[in-house]
A and B are shown apart, each in its own frame.
Chain A
Amino acid sequence: MKGSEAIVASLKAAGVDTIFGLPGGVVIPLYDALYDSDIRHYLVRHEQGAAHMADGYARATGKTGVCIATSGPGATNLVTGIANAYMDSSPMVAITGQVRSGLIGTDAFQEADITGITQPIVKHSYLIKDAKEIPRVFKEAFYIASTGRPGPVVIDIPADCQLDEIDYSQPEKIQLLGYKPTLKGNMKQIKAAAKLILSAERPVLYVGGGIVNSGAHKELAELARLLNIPVTTTLMGIGSFPETDKLSLGMLGMHGTGYANYAVTHSDLLIGVGVRFDDRVTGKLETFASGAKKIHIDIDPAEISKNIGIDVPIVGDARGILGELVRELKKARPGKTATRAWNKQVSDWKKKHPLSYEEGESDIAPQHVVEEIYRVTRGNAIICTEVGQNQMWSALFYKHTKPRHFITSGGLGTMGFGFPASIGAKVGQPRKTVIDIAGDGSFQMTIQELATAVNYNIPVVVAILNNQYLGMVRQWQELFWGKRYSNTCIECQPDFARVAEAYGALGMTITDKKDIADAVSTAIKAKKPAVLDFRVRQDENVFPMVPAGKSITEMIGGHK
């Protein structure tokens, strides 16, 4: 068969039934092979959209997302999406066309060295030199993308390799000499961790995206409830522990809750699981949980002691390790009394420093929109976000209870991610209500994907918290730059409702707070893509806030 047919056969062998992409000269053979296949291909309007859709699809389903772009500009348009998947450890295979083998290195038309360009932002990459490599490379790529710490893999395929004839057969085994992720935790270390946990008086579980990736939420809840250990999540960990639980502290860090930041700071044992001690979480490292012993469970050994010293490191898959840890702890038949005083303290902090905002008469507080979305969806929707204030309010004012139901660009902070990600999530979870809580700035970065959503009737809801500002930057200017609002006002903007209608989606503008809930339920029931333009208070800030580089208890605003 032809190389292009071998690609399709390899994709099917990897279990792929959904792809996002946009064709061009050198991938015409591949698209020709797709034409006859039953793989559903979603044609996007910009390749960045394809990458984010594949990413959103992966996060909502746990399966590896796949996107395709042509050589040169098509491939470079994927770059932001690949970097985004890399930073958030999302499994993705990005397929790019390349100029004919003989032309590589000659600055041929639409030639870009995409494996070179993406080298720092991929888990691995391949430049296929011979069509015979196709079955092996695809098998390896999907294996690498989805195992260990997941991440994006790029496969660059020259046009001639798509045309060459090969004898296709699926390789039976994968042989990667240099890739053997550690999954099982070391029992000695697990026992050492159990010992620390049993003797702790003020323990805190600090958990992140690793819980979601490994599907360890049940084991996490079991561990927390066994000894009544309060749980705080990172932005990426949101949904891995129900925020309706009395042990939940919500998110920690720069825009974390006051009580999460106090609890971590005063803890005597910090149990980090699937986290990476990112600067947005720790603030000033020297004061981050400085009185606490630290356990760190992560699948990536390079994360251990990267930013902060660890007393008991355990490398491996969170789910298995937490399961073993619970078994180990149960042997000691622990009571819950050890943490009683600590939980009392935590609940005092919760009462003293609740999240809050001012409600207006009829004007719309952006936080209120998020709360109304929670109320209308009963917390069952998949929430995607853009980046900025909208993202933080979505994290803070919606009570997240399920893993894979909060999809946000954490590590890279990519404006324009949320909307295409929501399309990918809806494709992967068609029965779920999927809502992108957006900023007016971010939405304009990938707004053209409205055509994709309408084209395939993918009924996602975009709820714009329209403050007519690049709000998060404006907030920094207000607080730290003497209110000099340099280039953050974006009042010049389209009428989003009419733009939506022009694309064939539903569009609504909401200016009174009493209309929020109705608009949200109308949009959900519309059974077609919908854009809700909430004209929110323009000068609202995200509080509490820890200024960059300060200790996480040095919060301003939002708490007393």
Chain B
Amino acid sequence: MKHTLSVLVENKPGVLSRIAGLFARRGFNIDSLAVGITENPDVSRMTITVDGKDHPIEQVTKQLHKLINVIKITDLDPKRTVARELALVKVKSDAHSRGEIMQIAEIFRANILDVGRKTITLEITGTYEKINAIEQLLEPHGIVEIVRTGRIAIERGAK
């Protein structure tokens, strides 16, 4: 099962490397990782998606906790969490296919960022699944490049 860990860390040099190193060394696989500052400039948040298949998630979080710069870890409950990802997709397109691609974009509420002679670049926000779905639809046109941010997530409600 995939877990989304929301990890508050001290905003200090080397923290990302400590966390990435820990994952590598203990044989935990990272599916995606997104880092950004929070409302407190001394604190950053990392959203890490991991597969709990090979290693019990408890070992992952306990080992993370041992890092001095890690302040708090929440294993987000998928039922009570909204998660989003942003993707930029550059697709091949000519006068012929442009219309269909724009239609797909509209259905998925994707923004069109750039239209060139041979390509269109779209911006899509959504769940992991939604981005996979649009990727599939665009595939036949030929995807030149896709850039994804990795998942970020927040708990619903007042908490």
Name the residue on B nearest A148 (C-beta).
B66
The closest CB in chain B to the CB of A300 belongs to B66
Q: Is B58 on the interface with A (CB-CB < 8 A)?
A: yes
Q: Does A305 contact B (CB under 8 A)?
A: yes
Q: Mark B15-38, 1 if CB is under 8 A from A, else 0.
A: 001100100010000000000000
Contact B62 A302 (CB under 8 A): yes
A178 and B10 contact, CB distance less than 8 A: yes
Q: Are B13 and A127 neighbours in the complex by a CB distance under 8 Å?
A: yes
Cross-chain contact of B68 among A178, A304, A306 (Cβ < 8 A)? A178
Cβ of A465 within 8 Å of any chain B Cβ, yes or no, is no
Across the interface, do A177 and B21 meet the contact criterion of CB distance under 8 Å?
no
A313→B98 CA distance, assembly (Å):
62
**Distance (whole angstroms) from the CB of A42 to the closest CB of chain B:** 29
Tell me, yes or no, whether A360 is within 8 Å of chain B by CB. no
- Bound-complex Cα distance A129 to B13 (A): 10
**Contact of B68 with A123 in the complex, beta carbons under 8 Å:** yes
Q: What CA separation (Å) do A129 and B56 show in the bound complex?
A: 38
Q: Which residue of B lies closest to A144 (CB)?
A: B68
Q: Is the interface of B mostly helix, strand, loop or mixed?
A: mixed
Residues in A113-139 with C-beta less than 8 Å from chain B: 115-116, 119-120, 123-124, 127, 129
With A115-B14, A178-B9, A300-B66 known to touch, is A120 a contact of B59 (CB < 8 Å)?
Answer: no
Interface residues on A, range: 10 to 19
How distant is the Cα of A305 from the Cα of B17 in the complex, in angstroms?
27
Instruction: Report if B105 contacts A (CB, 8 A).
Output: no
Contact between B14 and A124 (Cβ–Cβ < 8 Å)? no
A492: CB under 8 A from chain B?
Answer: no
Question: In the complex, which of the residues A123, A177, A306 has the most CB atoms of chain B within 10 Å of its own CB atom?
Answer: A177
- A176 at the A/B interface (Cβ < 8 Å)? yes
A177: chain B residues at CB < 8 Å are 10, 43, 71
Q: Which residue of B lies closest to A123 (CB)?
A: B68
B17, A178: Cβ atoms closer than 8 Å: no
Question: Are A127 and B68 in contact, with the CB atoms below 8 A?
Answer: no
Instruction: Answer whether residue B70 sits at the interface, using C-beta atoms and an 8 A cutoff.
Output: yes
Closest B residue to A306 by CB, please name it. B59
Which residues on A sit within 8 Å (CB–CB) of B66? 300, 302
The reply to whether A120 and B25 contact each other, CB–CB distance below 8 Å, is yes
* A148 → chain B closest CB, angstroms: 9
Q: Is B67 an interface residue (CB 8 A)?
A: yes
| Contact status of A119 and B68, CB under 8 A, knowing A301-B62, A305-B58, A306-B59 | no
Q: Does A480 contact B (CB under 8 A)?
A: no
Interface contacts beyond A300-B66, A302-B62, A305-B58: sample of 17 additional A-B pairs, CB < 8 Å, sorted by A: A116-B17, A119-B17, A119-B18, A120-B25, A123-B68, A124-B68, A127-B13, A127-B14, A176-B68, A178-B69, A178-B70, A178-B71, A178-B72, A302-B59, A302-B63, A302-B65, A302-B66
> What 4 pairs across the A-B complex have the smallest Cβ distances?
A302-B62, A178-B71, A124-B68, A177-B71
Q: Which residues of A contact B (CB under 8 A)?
A: 115-116, 119-120, 123-124, 127, 129, 144, 176-179, 300-302, 304-306
